[in-house]
Amino acid sequence: MPTAEGPRQIPLSQLASVTIKSGPSMIRIEEGLLNGYVCVDTAGRDPAGCVDEAARVLAEKVTLPPGYALLWSGQYGAMQGVKERLVVVLPHNMSVRVWVGLIALLGVDAETGVFMLLYLDSSSRPAPERLRPSLVLPPRTGHAPMALSLA
């Protein structure tokens, strides 16, 4: 510490009272709230089943004081977020015919992509050798009536 006589070392006990207390190993604040974390190893179990059981036990045995909340994160939180987004993208009320059509369409798209990659790879060859992808793609429009069918 700098002093009038030059830099000196001063014992910390002359500047502050230091005591050892138990408490959280780290203080973390998110969205203006203090947070504490409990890490759980779900080895051999699915995260959703583990969280469901833990939530049930905590609801039965623990009463949180006002201002406290429990939030589940980690793999479980990520899975819940994905599930919420998938409900918007892929509604679960689709019929089996719709799912079969989507799977077939994805297969056709993958096949078309492979042909296009082969075409791009062979673009240095003469034109007659590059006709296959161009001739294969137009017949795919024959799938449109099947996709639009309501029967």
Residue 19 in any domain: the answer is no
Q: Give the tokens for residue 47.
A: 């995260």
Exposure string of 10-37, with b = 16+ CB inside 10 Å and e = fewer, is eeeeeeeeeeeeeeeeeeeeeeeeeeee
3-class secondary structure, 82: helix
- How high does pLDDT run on average in the chain? 77
* Beta carbons of 116 and 133 less than 8 angstroms apart: yes
pLDDT at residue number 125: 64
Same domain, 117 and 68: no
Of the ranges 54-68, 70-84, 90-104, 130-144, which is most confident? 54-68
For the beta carbon of residue 76, count every other beta carbon within 10 angstroms.
19
Same structural domain for residues 72 and 33?
yes
Q: CA 71 from chain center: how many Å? A: 16
Q: Do 31 and 78 have their domain in common?
A: yes
Same domain (yes/no): 41, 71:
yes
pTM above 0.75?
no
Domain with 60 in it: 27-89
Q: Does 61 score more than 90 pLDDT?
A: yes
* Number of domain units in the chain: 2
CA 87/CA 90 separation, integer angstroms: 5
